[in-house]
Chains A and B, each alone.
Chain A
């Protein structure tokens, strides 16, 4: 850890960090590069010792590991366990790492052999049920979103470097959407998970007139029973609601409950 950075005159440690990716689109790591205006300031906060997508050098002496993607193969489990042994803090970066992300949609078939055959025919290919990082190792911090919001990452990483407590919003996206004075998407006939999804994205999708798909998972205070009533009142089919709820894996338990109820004999 180097100490050549100061904050309000106090020396601040520049922790060594590494970025890693398991099964993913690598978009969350790109989001970090996508913050061109503050990128150089952000980079000066930490010392990057591993970032395969961006640099050739590869150190194993990272204190903080940011891991993107979900676990879908045995070698990924091993890599993840290795990262856990090396790092003091492991951060799950994005929805794939936190909940399995869109990758976990293949779990819904409960039939890996069919999934493999559908894409690869008879060619042998290795894969597992998709798991979030927390199913394999202890995760210290989760950064939600598909993609992650770079401003939020910078805020969280700054707090991490300064040793401040990191708090995620407890309220849903709906609050942020109202604060932005957006027209309610339900009034435009669009389904939206804003009422139940954890805030922190500043109502990114609803502000662009796309209903929330729940990529950040449920808010701690989410009232999912009420969501079903809202959807039904607005004439939105259960299929469209489930499409959104199951998309990123954050609402997996709730979706399983709805499906179980659907299958109960009347």
Chain B
């Protein structure tokens, strides 16, 4: 008995050692940026892996970034674009997933396949047509343009995830409602929507990350006049001050922090949503 216990302990230690080892690989580069963003220029080059000490601690990078670039505004733009797109993806996606999963109608499979093409094909290949349309609609250099494109981009995967998830909801629930003569719209809003909440985190992570991090469409559709997203703002800033590592590292830290915080908030729900049968 003690033998077995010890073996279990040894195994457990090995498991933790392996996990800690890879966690270090995953987080070390990020930590490196955060650490060095708070050091003086000579210390960044002198000993990059050292933590800032009172003598090397220096926030000059942050000061320069905040002076030279409107990161608060860029951050606001990113928040607006990301949350509005996410909301639209969730609402429109849930409606479509519900229609495709719940009702049998002619062409059901065809529409489902059609909606799935977008998972496989990058929308970027159609950039010029998108730009022409956006110009035609007078939406160039607006956040609305980005929101529309991102909504289209996020829908296919959202429909897939939400569809799989809805399939798990017991049939009795909606049938009971139908027997009571409740309308289809009401079944959707009152019965189904509350039940898919756990899947929202999953969709959110898979939708938000590409939107938040996208460089391409902000560059093409909304690159000026204070409409930059934070990723574009950071890229433009890096391009402009590329040799000023204090400022660049500070800019990177400012771009990293919000998404990491959002993620930590969401991460518990992410796995719950997945394990309740979303993507299989």
Question: Are both chains from one complex?
Answer: no
